[in-house]
């Protein structure tokens, strides 16, 4: 790997000019995006600089427990943030989202590092942290979107759910069409990504490897593995999240839970 061009802070400042242009356009057209844009710009800078130093520190110390701690923190943040977008009944949603992200991503990460990418040592943070991040992110998006979709349709079709229960259905049978719908909707972005990867967008990991001087053919193999793993993690987390979350809408006596619907 050679030929890697280092960027400096002045380079970042030049990139910032484009954000300023967007802000000016927004102000002129009264789109009211300036404040959000400012927050986003500052957060991008602060979060990534912080992560840069944090990763440098973790890479330097090279301790397995620090790597696992970093991954646990990622899962926790993903669960919390994923649940936040679902709304109502937040206490329980956080637990469900976190458990679903944990299940989907940890399973996939174990297969990825135990069978496919076998690095030395097994916790090599240079590999484990960025790859885990991508997988956890996919899990979070799937779980969050699935739960939000289920909540919306369950509330919209509460009467129909109750009619199914009255007709003698178990809560599982009554919820099944909405569980299916939610899983399907939540996986659309993942399926779209699989359909267009490399054509519409060159994914981040591949871009990174090519920028760092890696051979495109090697980068492509990595990317294929990542896409498969992302799809698997997203699917597993989405299915788990939607099924667990759907149960929270019913009492053990197959009644709709008041307050949720």
Binding region for other proteins (CB under 8 A): 88-89, 159-160, 162-170, 173, 253-256, 258-260
Residue 256 pairs in a beta bridge with 250
Which residue's CB is nearer to other proteins, number 5 or number 167? 167
Which residue's CB is nearer to other proteins, number 10 or number 259? 259
Residue 167 Cβ vs other proteins, minimum distance, rounded to whole Å? 5
Cβ-based neighbour number of residue 212 at 10 Å: 12
Residue 152 Cβ vs other proteins, minimum distance, rounded to whole Å? 15
HSE toward the beta carbon, residue 249, CA cutoff 13 A: 30
Residue 196 Cβ vs other proteins, minimum distance, rounded to whole Å? 33
Which residue's CB is nearer to other proteins, number 200 or number 253? 253
Which residue's CB is nearer to other proteins, number 165 or number 236? 165
Closest by CA to 231, choosing from 133, 105, 61, 120, is 105
d(CA 219, CA 185): 30
Which residue's CB is nearer to other proteins, number 3 or number 168? 168
Residue 154 Cβ vs other proteins, minimum distance, rounded to whole Å? 14
- Check if the beta carbon of residue 204 is closer than 8 Å to that of residue 226: no
Closest by CA to 20, choosing from 3, 2, 38, is 38
Task: List strand residue ranges (DSSP E) for the chain, in order.
Answer: none
d(CA 212, CA 26): 35
Residue 75 Cβ vs other proteins, minimum distance, rounded to whole Å? 27
Which residue's CB is nearer to other proteins, number 7 or number 167? 167
Tokens of 48: 């990534």
Residue 124 Cβ vs other proteins, minimum distance, rounded to whole Å? 46
């Amino acid at each position: 790997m050679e030929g890697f061009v280092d960027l400096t802070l002045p380079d970042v400042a030049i990139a910032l000019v484009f954000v300023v242009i967007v802000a000016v356009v927004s102000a002129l057209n009264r789109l009211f995006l300036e404040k959000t844009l400012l927050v986003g710009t500052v957060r991008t800078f602060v979060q990534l600089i912080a992560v840069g130093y944090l990763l440098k520190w973790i890479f330097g110390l090279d301790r397995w427990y620090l790597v696992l701690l970093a991954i646990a923190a990622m899962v926790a943040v993903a669960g919390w943030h994923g649940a936040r977008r679902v709304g109502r009944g937040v206490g329980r949603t956080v637990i469900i989202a976190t458990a679903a992200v944990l299940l989907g991503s940890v399973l996939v990460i174990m297969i990825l590092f135990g069978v496919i990418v076998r690095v030395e040592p097994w916790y090599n943070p240079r590999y484990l942290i960025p790859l885990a991040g991508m997988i956890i992110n996919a899990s979070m998006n799937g779980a969050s979107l699935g739960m939000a979709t289920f909540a919306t349709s369950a509330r919209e079709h509460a009467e129909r759910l109750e009619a199914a229960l009255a007709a003698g259905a178990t809560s599982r049978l009554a919820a099944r069409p909405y569980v299916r719908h939610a899983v399907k909707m939540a996986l659309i972005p993942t399926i779209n990504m699989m359909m267009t990867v490399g054509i519409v967008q060159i994914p981040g990991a591949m871009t990174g490897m090519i920028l760092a001087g890696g051979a495109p053919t090697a980068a492509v193999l990595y990317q294929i593995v990542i896409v498969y793993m992302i799809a698997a993690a997203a699917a597993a987390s989405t299915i788990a999240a939607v099924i667990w979350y759907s149960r929270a809408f019913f009492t053990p006596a197959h009644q709709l839970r008041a307050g949720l619907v």
